[in-house]
Structures are given as C-alpha cells and as structure tokens.
Amino acid sequence: MRPVREFDLPSEKQAVLKKAHRLEIITVIYICTSATFLGLTMGSSQAMRTSFFEDVLSIIPAITFLICIRIARWPASKNYPYGFHGAVSIGYLTASLALIGMGTFLLIEAVMKFAAGERTTIGGMEIFGHTVWAGWPMLCAVVYTAVPSVFLGRAKLKLAPQIHDKVLFADAQMMKADWMAETATAIGVLGVGLGFWWIDPLAASLVSLSILHDGWTNLSAAVGDLIERRPMKTDRSGPEPLPDQLRNAMQELDWVEDAAVRLREIGHVFYGEVFIQPRASVEDLPRRIDEAAGKARSLNWRIRDVTVMAVPKLDAESNPPD
Amino acid sequence: MKRLTGRSATIFAAVLLIAGCDRLPRDSAGALKKIESERQVRVGVAEHEPWVRWEGDRATGLEPELIEQWAQTLGARIVWRRDSVAELVKALHRREIDVLAAGLEETTPYAPEVAASQPYLEAPDREGKKTPRVIAATQGESALLFSLDRFLGQQDEAKLSQRLHELSQPAP
C-alpha cells in the first residue's frame, strides 16, 4: 500500500514540543518523589491513601505523552500506510480508562469504610528518634505534592493548544485536579487532628469523585476521537476551524465551482477528503487535482494528507449547516 | 534593627506554630481527657505468651508492663478486663475499653477495626519471622493514640527485647 509522505513539525512547533517533553520528564521524576513521600506518610488516613493512588495515577498521562510523541513520529510504511498517529488516541483512551477505574475503586473503598464504622485515627510517627503527630509529615507530603502541580499544570496548559496535543492537555487538567485533591486531603488530615474523624472519608470521597470526573471527560473525548467525530479544538472549547479554512482555500481556486471537505483527527493530525465540483470548461483535471491536494497539505502542518476527488455536482447535503 | 525585628517575627511565628502543634491531635470522643479526669484506663487483655499473661487477678507480661508505665505518666490506675481477642476488639469498638493488649502483630487481621500504635518492638512470630508488634487503641481517638505512641517511642528497644527474653524463660 502507498504510505503517506514523510512529515515533521514546523520548527517553531518543534521548540514547543521540546519544552513539553522536558516538562513531562520533570513531571515523571517529581511524581516519583512525591508518591514515595505520600506512601511513607499515609498511615491509616483514607484521604491520604486516595491521594497516594491519585498521585501514582497522575504519572500515566505524562508517560503516555512521552511514549506517544515518540511513536507518532515513526515514518509511515507499507504495513502502516497512515503512519502511527493513532498511537496518541490509543494512549489517550488508556489513560482515561485508568482514571475511571481508579476513581471508582477509591470511591467504593471510602464509602465502604465509612459504612463499616471505621474511624480514621492518626497517632504518632517516629522521625529521627522523635515521636511527632503523624498528621504533620502527612501535611508536608501533601504540600510537596500540591505546590509544584500548580506550576507544572499551568505551563502545560499553555503548551498543549500550540502543538494540539490532547494527552498533554489531559495531563495539564489532571495536575489541576491533583492540587485540588491534595487540598481536600489536607483538610481531611487536619479534620482528624481536630477530632472530626468523618472529614477524612468525606475528603477521600470528594477526591475520588474528582478523579472520576476527569476520567469521564477524557474518556468521552478519547472515544469521540476514535469514532472520528468532527474535529474539536484541543481545549475542547468548540469545533476546530481548520475544516472550514480548508474548504474556503479550495473554493478560492479559479477552476473550482464548489467544494466540500471531510476531515478526521488522528492524534495531532488530520486526514480526509476534499470533494470538488469543477467549473465547466476545465482542462488538465488530474494535474489541477494534484495541485489542490498540495495546497491543502501546505495550508497547515496538521493536514497530514487529503484525497481530492472531482464530483459532477455538490448538493446541499455536502455542507450541512451547524 | 529592621533585620532583628524580622528575625524575631520569624521566631515568634515558629513559636506560635509549635504551640499550635501541641494542641493537635484531638480525640473525636474525648477518650484521653476522660482517662485524665477519671484517673483510670480500661485495658483489655487477651493471653498471649510472653506478651500478655494472667496471674491471679491482674495481667502481667511485656505489654501490661508497658501499659502500666504509660498509665502512670497519665496519673491513672488500670482496670483490667480479660477476654478473647475477638470479644475485646468488639468491646474496643463499643468504647468499653480504651486500649487492648494481645501481643498483636502489625499485620493483624483486626487492623481495620482498631487504631494500632506504632510498632514498639520487632520480635519473631511462631514461624520465627521477625514481625513488628503493636498495641491497639479505640478508633477515632487520635490524642489517645498519639499519647500511647509517644510513650512507646521513648522506650529502648534493646531493653524491651531483653525483658521479653526474660519473660520467655520458664519460671523456676
């Protein structure tokens, strides 16, 4: 089969990608340390336990990103004629499923412990031969986990729409959920310290719900991608304007009477079809069609490949209103 | 001068923080306060050689010895209650006793139902594997547990080990 052409990001986008790559490596290292810290201090607090798993899970989008951008750049071949951009969608689906699974598990656990009448008790912890209230090291771990998440999340949120990376966007959102969840955990731990044991399972449930919510929004976006829904903007704020831009560009060609497009999003890029109704007296149609395809590809780096097809007449259904 | 004010402000803040630290944790049902006001600790004991023994009308063994010393620091006397572990765990849950001594291992299946102290000693179990030992307290009473943990943290593990060895020897 005929593979699609070689492809690379434009140079200014490559710089953004490099930055994102570096941020994600920092994230992975940082999550490893914070998860260790949380794991060592969690004790019997359900909120701390939930927080620990939430933290371990939040490494998944970062790792998915690091693996997928590598795979997505493998060249297309005879056996994979469309290239490997689909890897990003698969990674995205996997990450969102992991979120849903863990959110459900932790929510059930918190509710069951509450129902069984288990009361969180936070006693002492020996640190360098000194027994301190275990809530203090827990709170330190929580702060250590939460504060850098704010900055990392913000930085990623800025980069994601520039390289149209949904995994990166999901990761940025997850970091936001992360520090919000940590705040709930801190309230849970302090609540236990003040003698309100029920604040702990309550905080744990809220954190689980936030994980579930993240999982659900990401799952619906990932499934939408795989069903090849109409392309949406990376920040999910609405439909992607690129299909309309492509149609306009095609209509501007002097030999074109009318045009319609159909694009699908695979990972960072688009594949699709352009339907052109040529003007009556057009000569040398194959060459013109080939030029139109070239123009389409050069319109935006995200248009990876399009098939241009000449049709005798485009009807109203070709361009349905919004 | 300005620098000095800044420094004293920092010290003041630190002192406040440390003072605040002292107030946490609190109990959810005031178990520790009750012990201090009524001057008595209700202790459940389940026989488990050489950790807990029953002699006449009182408990002996390593854990009762530790609990007696801890009760002394609180100025409280001890009311013993002798039963099986399963019954005592229920009693702990119903708040009929404050602490439970049964030579429990840290990985005890009763862990979800009790508030376990920090391990105070590592000693071999029946198969000879070293396992950390804990004393249990009522759940939800963080101040009580912290008081016990702080006391256990002050103990010398080598001395406890030695004492356990003495208690393990058959009586002459």
Q: Which domains does chain A have, with CATH numbers?
A: 11-226 (1.20.1510.10), 242-318 (3.30.70.1350)
The C-alpha of B155 sits at a distance from chain A's nearest C-alpha, in angstroms, of 10
Q: Where are the alpha helices (DSSP H) in A73-198?
A: 86-115, 135-163, 166-193
Q: Mean per-residue pLDDT for B32-39? A: 93
pLDDT tens column, B71-123: 999 999 999 999 999 999 999 999 999 999 999 998 889 988 999 999 999 88
pLDDT tens column, A94-144: 888 887 888 888 888 889 888 888 888 999 988 888 888 999 999 999 899
Q: Mean per-residue pLDDT for A52-77? A: 88
pLDDT tens column, A254-288: 999 999 999 998 888 899 999 999 998 888 999 99
Which residues of chain B lie closer than 8 angstroms to A42, CB-CB? none
* pLDDT of B1 above 50: no
Where does the pLDDT of residue A296 fall: very low under 50, low under 70, confident under 90, or very high at 90 and above? very high
Instruction: Check B118 against A117: CB less than 8 A apart.
Output: no
CB proximity B56 to A under 8 Å? no
* pLDDT of B6 above 80: no
For the ranges A96-105, A157-166, A173-182, the maximum mean pLDDT occurs at A157-166
CB proximity B112 to A under 8 Å? yes
Q: State chain B's mean pLDDT as an integer.
A: 86
Size of interface A-B (CB pairs under 8 A): 89
Which residues of chain B lie closer than 8 angstroms to A116, CB-CB? 112
DSSP B6-32: HHHHHHHHHHHHHHHHHH---BSS-HH
* pLDDT of A182 above 50: yes
Rounded Cα–Cα distance for residues A85 and A264 (Å): 12
Task: Give percent of chain B above pLDDT 70.
Answer: 85
In sequence order, what are the beta bridge partners of B60? B53
Q: From the list A116, A131, A135, which residue is nearest B24 (CB)?
A: A135
Where does the pLDDT of residue A311 fall: very low under 50, low under 70, confident under 90, or very high at 90 and above? very high
Instruction: Check B142 against A124: CB less than 8 A apart.
Output: no
Q: Which domains does chain B have, with CATH numbers?
A: 26-168 (3.40.190.10)
The C-alpha of A106 sits at a distance from chain B's nearest C-alpha, in angstroms, of 16
Q: Write down the pLDDT at residue A167.
A: 87
More confident of the two residues B13 and B128: B128
The C-alpha of B109 sits at a distance from chain A's nearest C-alpha, in angstroms, of 14
Rounded Cα–Cα distance for residues A308 and A304 (Å): 13
Q: From the list B26, B113, B115, which residue is nearest A194 (CB)?
A: B26
